[in-house]
A and B are shown apart, each in its own frame.
Chain A
Amino acid sequence: MAAHTESHNPALLHHFATEEQQRNSASFGMWIFLATEVMFFGGLFCAYLIYRRWYFGDFAAASTSINAKLGGANTAVLICSSLTVVLAIWAAQTSRRALMIGMLILTMLFGLTFLGIKGIEYADKFHEHHVPGPSFSFDHEEIPGNPGHYANPHHAQIFFALYFIMTGLHALHMVIGLGIFTWLLWAAWKGRFTPEYHTPLEIGGLYWHFVDIVWIYLFPLLYLIDRHT
């Protein structure tokens, strides 16, 4: 073991030479993890794009039956939560403990709001029998811009299958994000974060922003296929 000639932050792990190396590694590691998440969701987006092109009319009909206002509201909620995350990190950088904790709490409240709105949407779909499976039904729904033509229920079921899997996977990531931020909040409360060391906040923030970006794409693709007819 190399002799330590100067004292170092207890958060410095033994196999790293400097705090900067540790921080850069953590950040890099999180970015690579986010790359895997992009590919994970990406497979779903690929399937979605193929079927949307193939069954455009049926998908448009299915899309008009989900609530774009709630989807839009959720988009705004997540955007606000991303703001509170960067403000929390700024607060850590500038030793504003109360603001940091407040912003973390606000972030989590926004996250819970998102999940709540999602729950309302899912409940609506359940009542309308749009959840894929044995009780699915989508008869006699007109294709937008094509009066007299009705959507193929099988194709509509594919839309809803992808809708639930994509938004469900996204919601699962939100839940995990809330778990991460619960820990961050506890660590912030305990005074673990200083201007010199707040790496967990940064990488937790990266994860949260990624979840926001996924929703930024999900919203127009799922909710706004054809709203103009």
Chain B
Amino acid sequence: MATGNIPPVEREDYLNKHYGVGSWLFTTDHKRIALLYLISITFFFFIGGFFALLIRLELLTPASDLVQADTYNKFFTQHGMVMVFFFLIPSIPATLGNFLVPMMIGAKDLAFPKINLLSWYLYIIGGIMMLHCMVTGGVDTGWTFYTPFSTAFTNTKIVEAGLAIFIAGFSSILTGLNFVVTIHRMRAPGMTWTRLPLFIWAHYATSIIQILGTPVVAITIVLVAAERALHLGIFDPKLGGDPLLFQHLFWFYSHPAVYIMILPSMGVVSEIISCFSRKRIFGYSFVALSSISIAVFGFLVWAHHMFVAGMSVYAALIFSLLSYSVAVPSAVKVFNWTATLYKGSIHYDAPMLYAFGFLGLFTIGGLTGLFLAALGIDVHVTDTYFVVAHFHYIMVGGALMGYLGGMHFWWPKISGRLYPEGWARLAALIVFIGFNLTFFPQFILGYLGMPRRYADYSHMPEFQILNVFSTAGATVLGVGYLLPMVYFLWSMRYGKPASDNPWNAAGLEWQTQSPPTTFNFPEEPVVTWEAYNYDEIDKGQKEVPQVVG
């Protein structure tokens, strides 16, 4: 890969332009806000990971001997709430998205920079509230806080947790709103819709979901809080209410939410695969449209979480059929990425290793989703570890791998430094091995009947061996996650300075310096080339496209 020319003196960039805590806490620069988010979500990842560790420690033995069941209930609830609302949903959009969306379209910033900063503050306020809730007793309903347990029976801090999520949800809405307006209104001249990187299409689709879905869970939280305070009966069967109404309203957001978590990662994978196979993405328009399809179809399938809850079987049939259809656009992407690899010039740098991991693990996760969409199978495996394995394959094997791949790919741009490639490849391998060791046994456990959310499985002690594998895998996985934290931080001081485009990648973000200046480009770019024009870049017919003033 090209190393380019390293400037002999320190250039002005967005990192060194202003110093001081105030310049960070009151910034409106989308790149600084992205870093603020990066630090915050990494912090919450550790919190969520800590609860995961506690879960896995308890499950080493069949008996509930580490903690009581009530405490264990708090572990998995907090693991879920923190990981879903404070890590996965913001993860790529708020970090890589905030950093790259304006740059990829040739803009100076997002459409509403102050609202961007506000969204970070809302995230922080929600996060502090969630932390306070957890240390003062926490919640034990599962991250899904089903009624009437959450409204009428539990004594834990539902309202506070709900309020924290409500506020964080606002943060998510504002990010989505900002992205949609930016992508529509602030593209540089010549940056037509069909020249946009697929990363942008993915974030556009994600933003649609954030905008339309999050308010529904917000109002659901309001209803739960009101019900708890006043015993209204909206979700209480004793008072004429229907607990399933809660589930309808909750899952109307929470299912599309999983697409919020995976779509940005898919966008990252498109960028990485094309760069490291030196080829245009096969079927660009199909991949772009599949992102939008996933966003739309994702809203049609929510009640597949409710097949055995007491819903009408006719409705279950409809939702089962719709759930099969939502797999199609995801499959289209996987086929097109694979076709991109075909006859490509493959480079096995760390970002590509993560993208490969994504391809395999997301496929397994996605296919097992089809198992769950089949009513007959779902009756047996619902609320077992099969479901847990399914969503972790997608969320961790898919989304998180994509996030790590993206962090590695764009690290030179963000920090101006190269990370140590050898350590990065090792970490990717450790993550892959640790991940499979953790979660593959859970498919088997679920199929054999081990229920989820149980601290005590001593009625079936034969499950222990698989649980031990799973916990061992979690330890390996933890090491794999710690390594990048260490070497990324190390690289900020000791890493080799990066050139503007160390990967020789296509994309406007690589046409400006690493790290970028505050306003990204010295002059507004004018785009005259198609996306992923690697054939032109590599043939040398055309120089790496320069910004045209």
Which residue numbers of A lie inside 8 Å of B, CB to CB?
1-2, 14-17, 21, 24-25, 28-29, 32-33, 35-37, 39-44, 46-47, 50-51, 55, 132-133, 152, 154-155, 157-158, 161-162, 165, 169
Contact = CB atoms under 8 A, between A and B. Distances in A.
A210 to B, nearest CB: 13
Contacts of A132: 230, 232-233
Contacts of B219: 40-44
Contacts of B115: 29
A40 B110 CA distance: 25
Contacts of A21: 185-186
A154 B110 CA distance: 50
Nearest to B235: A47
12 contacts: A15-B109, A29-B111, A29-B177, A36-B211, A42-B215, A46-B249, A50-B245, A132-B230, A133-B231, A158-B232, A158-B241, A161-B233
B112 interface: yes
B249 A25 contact: no
Contact of A17 (B180, B212, B524): B524
Nearest to A47: B245
B232 A25 contact: no
B523 A2 contact: yes
A37 B214 CA distance: 10
Contact of A161 (B113, B218, B226): B226
Contacts of A157: 232-233, 239
A154 B239 contact: yes
Contacts of B220: 43
B226 A25 contact: no
A29 B216 contact: no
A123 to B, nearest CB: 18
B240 A155 contact: yes
Q: Top 6 closest A-B pairs, CB basis? A: A43-B219, A40-B215, A161-B232, A39-B215, A15-B109, A154-B240
B108 interface: yes
Interface residues of B, number: 44
Contacts of B215: 36-37, 39-40, 42-43
Contact of B107 (A1, A15, A46, A154): A15
Question: Which of A28, A33, A43, A44 gathers most chain B CB within 10 Å?
Answer: A43
Contact of B212 (A28, A35, A158): A35
B213 interface: yes
Interface of B: 107-113, 115, 173, 177-178, 180-181, 184-186, 211-216, 218-220, 222-223, 226, 230-234, 239-242, 245, 248-249, 252, 519, 523-524
A51 B234 CA distance: 9
B134 to A, nearest CB: 27
B230 A133 contact: yes
A162 B234 contact: yes
B522 to A, nearest CB: 9
Contacts, number: 107
Interface centre among A16, A132, A155 (most CB of B within 10 A): A132
B113 A15 contact: yes
B214 A36 contact: yes
Contact of B177 (A1, A33, A44): A33
Nearest to B184: A28
Given A25-B185, A29-B115, 16 more contacts: A2-B523, A14-B108, A15-B110, A25-B186, A36-B173, A40-B216, A41-B219, A43-B252, A47-B245, A47-B249, A152-B240, A154-B239, A155-B240, A157-B239, A158-B241, A161-B233
Nearest to B170: A36
Name the residue in B109, B110, B111, B222 with the highest tally of chain A Cβ atoms < 10 Å from its Cβ.
B111
Contacts of B185: 21, 24-25, 28
Contacts of A41: 219
Nearest to A43: B219
Nearest to B213: A39
A41 B241 CA distance: 19
B245 A29 contact: no
B283 to A, nearest CB: 30
Given A32-B177, A162-B234, A15 B211 contact: no
Given A28-B184, A29-B177, A35-B212, A43 B249 contact: yes
Contacts of A32: 177, 180-181, 211
B521 to A, nearest CB: 9
A202 to B, nearest CB: 15
Contacts of B173: 36
Nearest to B246: A47
Contacts of B112: 25, 29
Contacts of A40: 215-216, 218-219
A158 B234 contact: yes
Given A24-B185, A36-B211, A39-B216, A55 B223 contact: no
A203 B531 CA distance: 35
A169 B181 CA distance: 27
Contacts of A161: 226, 230, 232-234
B355 to A, nearest CB: 32
Contacts of B242: 50
B186 A47 contact: no
Nearest to A35: B211
Nearest to B188: A17
Nearest to A27: B181
Nearest to A55: B240
B408 to A, nearest CB: 29
A218 to B, nearest CB: 15
B184 A165 contact: no
A18 to B, nearest CB: 11
Contacts of A25: 111-112, 181, 185-186
B545 to A, nearest CB: 20
A26 B233 CA distance: 41
Given A15-B107, A32-B181, A43-B215, A165 B240 contact: no
Nearest to B232: A161
A217 to B, nearest CB: 15
A165 B109 contact: no
Contacts of B233: 132, 154, 157-158, 161
B187 to A, nearest CB: 11
Nearest to B110: A15
Contacts of B230: 132-133, 161
**Residue with the highest number of chain B CB atoms closer than 10 Å, among A1, A21, A39, A157:** A39
A28 B232 CA distance: 38
B232 A47 contact: no
A158 B241 CA distance: 8
A9 B214 CA distance: 36
A32 B230 CA distance: 33
A152 B242 CA distance: 16
